[in-house]
Amino acid sequence: MVNKKLLFCVFQVLSSIYMFSNPVLDGTWIDSLSYIWHLKSPEKNENLLYEDYSWGKAKNEPNTTMDIDIANNMISDATLWGFSIRNIEYKGKSKIILNVSRYVEAINNYWDLELIIHFIDDDTFWIENEWLENNWDSFAGPNILRHRISGPAKIPLQNAILSDSRVRIRTKPNLQSDTWGFLNKGDRVEIKDKSDEPFEINGEKWYWYKVDAEGYPDGWVYGKYLDIEN
């Protein structure tokens, strides 16, 4: 007779090895100094520039953001403008190796770099590359974090309207997280993700929703304050 307990243990081990998703690199990423500036200035940022990529709508800021579009083999910012992704290798849940290349007319040749991307969480990473760390100390290294401010939707997109004013748009789906800013009644947003479970506040249970709101990085809004359109 098959030992059911043994089969279950084997399934758990295999699940831990194989049943995970690769980290998602697509999106617009911002450096830590600009990230902190946003948190200290909770008003709409009129300087955000919107641009379409294969994964969705990027939110760019001049000289502070990095856009990555894996489908189009593209990575660009003030430092790496024009680099193409030649190869991408996923190394588990929290590491990606990118081989990027750029033609440099001055030397009539290609400049090739290997970038090792280390994820701190789903929306934070740092870049490992010895040459960049030695020559562009503001670009690479474990102390130079980048934070995702816009990225691909994880659920089918839905539109919603704010049903109240001074509603916080947060960096994470919890009350302890920082606030990007405030949304007001009638503001329209696009839903891109949803918390796994409802969250109870003052005896009421609602899901958190990750939204794309104009003038702010993508952030989380408590479902009580959203009228979701069908």
For residue 148, pLDDT over 70 is answered with yes
Question: Which among 81-90, 92-101, 152-161 has the top mean pLDDT?
Answer: 152-161
> What is d(CA 61, CA 215) in angstroms, rounded to the nearest whole number?
11
108's tokens = 């009539």
Q: Dihedral through CA 121, CA 61, CA 77, CA 209, nearest 10?
A: 30
What is the predicted pLDDT for the residue at 3? 55
pTM (2 d.p.)? 0.84
Instruction: Give domain limits for the chain.
Output: 21-150, 158-228
- Check: CATH 2.30.30.40 for 158-228? yes
In tens, the pLDDT along 55-96 reads 999 999 888 899 999 999 988 876 666 788 999 999 988 999
Q: Binning pLDDT at 50, 70 and 90, where does residue 5 land?
A: low
DSSP tally for the chain: helices H, then strands E: 3, 19
For residue 1, pLDDT over 60 is answered with no
> What is d(CA 64, CA 78) in angstroms, rounded to the nearest whole number?
7
β-partners of residue 167 are 183
What is the predicted pLDDT for the residue at 10? 39
Interior CA angle at 167 toward 165 and 168, to 5°?
Answer: 155
Residue found by looking up tokens 């290349």 in the block: 101
What is the predicted pLDDT for the residue at 116? 97
What is the predicted pLDDT for the residue at 230? 80
Q: How far is CA 222 from CA 148, 178, 198, 203, 227, in A?
A: 20, 14, 10, 14, 11
